Chains A and B, each alone.
Chain A
Amino acid sequence: MEPVKLKGNREGLILKLDLKTSFPILCENIMAKIKSADAFLGDNREIIINTGNHVLDSDQIEELTRVLQSLDLGIKKIISEAKEEREVEKPINSQQKIELEQSLSEGSTLMVRKNLRSGQSVFHEGTVIVMGDINPGAEVVAGGHIFVLGHLRGVAHAGARGDKDAVVYANKLQPTQLRIANLITRAPDDESVAPNEPELARIKDGMVIIEKYSLYKEE
Chain B
Amino acid sequence: MGEVIVITSGKGGVGKTTTTANIGTGLAAQGKKVVLIDTDIGLRNLDVVMGLENRIVYDLVDVTQGNCRLKQALIKDKRFEGLFLLPAAQTKDKNAVSADDMKKLCEELREEFDYIIVDCPAGIEQGFKNAIAGADRAIVVTTPEVSAVRDADRIIGLLEANNLKRPKLVINRLRADMVKRGDMMNIDDMIDILAIELLGVVPEDEQIVISTNKGEPAVLDMNSQAGQAYRNITKRVMNQEVPLLNLDYETGIVKKLKRLLGLKG
Q: Which A residues contact B (CB, under 8 angstroms)?
A: 11, 48, 77, 79-82, 85-86, 88, 90-91, 93, 95, 118-121, 136-139, 176-177, 184, 186-187, 189
Give the contacts of B43-101 with A (CB-CB under 8 A): 43-44, 48, 51, 53-57, 62, 65-69, 71-72, 78, 90-93
Residues of A within 8 A of B67 (CB): 79-80, 90-91, 93
Known: A118-B90, A137-B90. A176 touches B54 (CB 8 A): yes
Provide the bound-state CA to CA distance between A177 and B56, in Å. Answer: 8
Residues of B within 8 A of A176 (CB): 53-54, 56
Residues of A within 8 A of B71 (CB): 85
Give the contacts of B5-61 with A (CB-CB under 8 A): 42-44, 48, 51, 53-57
Q: Chain A's interface: helix, strand, loop or mixed, by majority? A: loop
Residues of B within 8 A of A85 (CB): 71-72
Instruction: For the complex formed, measure the closest distance between the CB of A83 and the CB atoms of chain B, giving whole angstroms.
Output: 11
13 contacts between A and B (CB under 8 A): A11-B66, A77-B66, A81-B69, A85-B72, A86-B57, A90-B67, A118-B90, A119-B42, A119-B90, A136-B48, A137-B90, A177-B54, A177-B57
Residues of A within 8 A of B48 (CB): 136
Instruction: For the complex formed, measure the closest distance between the CB of B67 and the CB atoms of chain A, giving whole angstroms.
Output: 6
Provide the bound-state CA to CA distance between A96 and B71, in Å. Answer: 23
Instruction: For the complex formed, measure the closest distance between the CB of B95 and the CB atoms of chain A, giving whole angstroms.
Output: 12
Give the contacts of B241-255 with A (CB-CB under 8 A): none
A154: nearest chain-B partner, CB-CB: B90
Residues of B within 8 A of A80 (CB): 67
B72 and A79 form a contact (CB under 8 A): no
Residues of A within 8 A of B78 (CB): 189
Provide the bound-state CA to CA distance between A72 and B71, in Å. Answer: 36
Known: A85-B71, A119-B90. A79 touches B66 (CB 8 A): yes
A184 and B57 form a contact (CB under 8 A): yes
Shortest beta-carbon contacts, A-B, top 8: A186-B54, A121-B91, A79-B66, A176-B54, A137-B90, A177-B54, A85-B72, A119-B90
Known: A177-B54, A177-B56, A184-B57. A95 touches B92 (CB 8 A): yes
Provide the bound-state CA to CA distance between A79 and B43, in Å. Answer: 25
Residues of B within 8 A of A91 (CB): 67
Residues of B within 8 A of A119 (CB): 42-43, 90-91
Q: Which B residues contact A (CB, under 8 angstroms)?
A: 42-44, 48, 51, 53-57, 62, 65-69, 71-72, 78, 90-93
B90 and A82 form a contact (CB under 8 A): no
B44: nearest chain-A partner, CB-CB: A137
Residues of A within 8 A of B72 (CB): 82, 85-86
Residues of A within 8 A of B56 (CB): 176-177
Provide the bound-state CA to CA distance between A139 and B57, in Å. Answer: 11
Instruction: For the complex formed, measure the closest distance between the CB of B103 and the CB atoms of chain A, giving whole angstroms.
Output: 13
Provide the bound-state CA to CA distance between A176 and B48, in Å. Answer: 11
Provide the bound-state CA to CA distance between A48 and B66, in Å. Answer: 10
For the complex with contacts A90-B62, A90-B67, 9 further pairs of A-B residues with Cβ separation under 8 Å are: A79-B66, A79-B67, A86-B57, A118-B90, A119-B43, A119-B91, A136-B48, A139-B90, A176-B56
B68 and A77 form a contact (CB under 8 A): no
Provide the bound-state CA to CA distance between A36 and B62, in Å. Answer: 33
**Listed residue (B53, B68, B72, B93) with the most chain A CB atoms within 10 angstroms of its CB:** B68
Provide the bound-state CA to CA distance between A137 and B42, in Å. Answer: 9
Provide the bound-state CA to CA distance between A16 and B181, in Å. Answer: 69
Provide the bound-state CA to CA distance between A184 and B43, in Å. Answer: 23
Known: A77-B65, A77-B66, A91-B67. A120 touches B91 (CB 8 A): yes
Known: A119-B90, A137-B90, A189-B51. A93 touches B57 (CB 8 A): no
Instruction: For the complex formed, measure the closest distance between the CB of A16 and the CB atoms of chain B, giving whole angstroms.
Output: 13
B89: nearest chain-A partner, CB-CB: A119
Residues of B within 8 A of A118 (CB): 90
Residues of B within 8 A of A177 (CB): 54-57
B58: nearest chain-A partner, CB-CB: A90
A81: nearest chain-B partner, CB-CB: B69
Instruction: For the complex formed, measure the closest distance between the CB of B255 and the CB atoms of chain A, giving whole angstroms.
Output: 45
Provide the bound-state CA to CA distance between A176 and B75, in Å. Answer: 15
Provide the bound-state CA to CA distance between A82 and B92, in Å. Answer: 20
CB contact between B54 and one of A120, A121, A138, A187 (< 8 Å): that residue: A187
Residues of B within 8 A of A48 (CB): 66
**Listed residue (B42, B53, B66) with the most chain A CB atoms within 10 angstroms of its CB:** B66
Residues of B within 8 A of A82 (CB): 68, 72
